[in-house]
Amino acid sequence: MELSYPQAVRIMQEAAPAMVFVALREVLAQRDWHARLWVIEYRQSALCSVDDVDGGHAHVSVHDSWQGRVFAADRAQIQDDGARRVVGVPLTHRGHRLGVLEVSTPTTITEADVDTIADVGDALAHEIALADGLTDHFERARRARALTVAAEMQWALLPATAHITDEYSVAGLLEPAYSVAGDAFDWAFEPDHLTLAVCDGVNRGVPAAMAMTLCMAALRNARRAAVTLADQASLADQALFAHYSGKSYIAALLMRLDVRSGHLTVVDAGSPRLLQVRSGQIRAVDLDEQLPLGMFEETKYREQVLELAPGDRLIIVSDGVHAAPQHDPFGDSALVAAVSSSRLLSAQETVRHLMAAMHEHNRGAELDDDAVVVCVDWNGRAE
């Protein structure tokens, strides 16, 4: 049977949320196309299989597997597998990479067939993104191990880990992925601007996650009231101080980017570190550092204005990155080297590369401190 994008969407929409891939796989099997779904796990270092026919749940490394190359490159690839050919297409929803669809086909596969599989992958990515709010099926599959309760709270706070438009790309990642509790990032997109917050919490466990939940709710509440960036910081500061009386506070970097002009407004509340990459040159941005959110009552915050040039990249890291681990700091020089070596990568791959460099420095051991990395690429005004 022939299968188009609208048909694939209809087939999956008529299935139960947990069964969208099963329904699609059964239809593809009618063409002698054998499908397998891989979803990316929280650390983004492995892909986990979903709904294997034999009931297994295999994992493959992103770093040294064929499926991992499809994921990292974010484009379709083909390889021979004996009497059949295997097509791998990335599952990406508005820049948020969900995994890889692998389809084994007869050797007579045509270029049109590859295009069809890519279209089907787009439809599947969209349906999985919708299904995630209705079922735990895919969420359960992407866990290489159990999350702590604090990490469960923290990840529930976060937006999708990436978003791409013609004018900008943004991506973020947290570590240690399965027990993180103190750091977070958030963003919101409007037609003419991007608002972004990167927060570095204190303490660990559920108390840290609860403080970050309050901070994020306060920042979003203020942002949705359309007040200035300085007022957003002040309102979040008041909410935290009212509850914790200065005993728990959060360092934050708040930014508002005019995506048409590159005009960047910043509030540095004892913030994570900001690096700027322009024409291959990396520099630490000198910010007007102010008090962390919630440290003192009714703190007044000031805005700082920067101007970006088309092609600029911003890297925001918490102290868990540039100071991890405590006994052998990753340090500024290693951070700059990692940023430099990732300059040709996409924003999504850049955050993954920086985290991988930090893990390599740490010899694979769990991090001493929570760490967040966010990358923003501004491409200039879209025509």
> How confident is the model at residue 383, as a pLDDT?
59
> How confident is the model at residue 125, as a pLDDT?
96
Say whether pLDDT at 188 is over 70: yes
Are 207 and 77 in a shared domain? no
Could you report the per-residue pLDDT of 2-14, keeping only the tens digit for each? Answer: 677 788 889 999 9
In a 13 Å sphere around the CA of 267, the CA atoms on its Cβ side amount to 27
Q: How confident is the model at residue 303 (pLDDT cuts 50, 70, 90)?
A: very high
Q: Residue 152: name the closest of 42, 78, 285 by CA.
A: 42
| CB 242, CB 264: distance < 8 Å | no
Q: Residue 41: name the closest of 134, 171, 175 by CA.
A: 175
Whole-prediction pTM: 0.91
**Can you give the CATH number for the domain in which 217 is found?**
3.60.40.10
User: Domain ends where: 114, 141, 168?
Assistant: 141
> How confident is the model at residue 15, as a pLDDT?
95
> How confident is the model at residue 98, as a pLDDT?
97
Q: What is the mean pLDDT of the chain?
A: 90
Rounded to 10 deg, the angle between the 205-224 and 149-157 helix axes is 10
Query: Which range, of 77-91, 187-201, 218-232, 339-353, averages the lowest pLDDT?
Result: 77-91
Could you report the per-residue pLDDT of 31-62, keeping only the tens digit for each? Answer: 889 999 999 999 999 999 997 544 556 899 99
Tokens of 293: 């959110």
Mean pLDDT within 311-317: 96
The boundaries of the domain holding residue 162 are 149-378
Please, what is the Cα angle at 268 between 357 and 288, to 5 degrees?
110
**Can you give the CATH number for the domain in which 12 is found?**
3.30.450.40
- What distance in Å separates the CA atoms of residue 120 and residue 244, rounded to the nearest whole number? 50
Q: In terms of pLDDT, which residue wins out, 53 or 15? A: 15
Say whether pLDDT at 169 is over 60: yes
Are 239 and 300 in a shared domain? yes
List, as one string, the DSSP characters of 157-168. Answer: H---SEEE-SSE
3-state secondary structure of 234: helix
Q: In terms of pLDDT, which residue wins out, 237 or 82? A: 237
Are 125 and 155 in a shared domain? no
3-state secondary structure of 324: coil
Which residues face 116 on adjacent strands?
A: none
Are 168 and 97 in a shared domain? no
What is the residue type of 262? G
Query: Which residue in this structure is represented by tokens 């995506």?
Result: 259
Say whether pLDDT at 232 is over 80: yes
Q: How confident is the model at residue 328 (pLDDT cuts 50, 70, 90)?
A: low
Mean pLDDT within 97-106: 94
Q: In terms of pLDDT, which residue wins out, 369 or 283? A: 283
Mean pLDDT within 273-296: 94
Find how far residue 279's CA is from the centre of its chain.
25
> How confident is the model at residue 323, as a pLDDT?
55
Domain assignment present for residue 383? The answer is no
Omega of the bond leading into 191 within 30 degrees of 0 (cis): no
Could you report the per-residue pLDDT of 86-99, keeping only the tens digit for each? Answer: 999 999 999 999 99
Mean pLDDT within 171-199: 93
* Other residues' Cβ atoms within 10 Å of the Cβ of residue 192: 11
Omega of the bond leading into 90 within 30 degrees of 0 (cis): no
User: Domain ends where: 116, 141, 166?
Assistant: 141
Are 126 and 212 in a shared domain? no
Say whether pLDDT at 105 is over 60: yes
Task: Give 233's contacts (C-beta < 8 A, 6+ positions apart).
Answer: 252, 254, 267, 269, 293, 299, 301
Which residues face 99 on adjacent strands?
A: 39, 91
Say whether pLDDT at 1 is over 60: no
Are 116 and 189 in a shared domain? no
| CB 38, CB 48: distance < 8 Å | yes
3-state secondary structure of 2: coil
Q: Which percentage of the chain shows pLDDT scores above 70?
A: 93
Are 364 and 215 in a shared domain? yes
Are 195 and 302 in a shared domain? yes
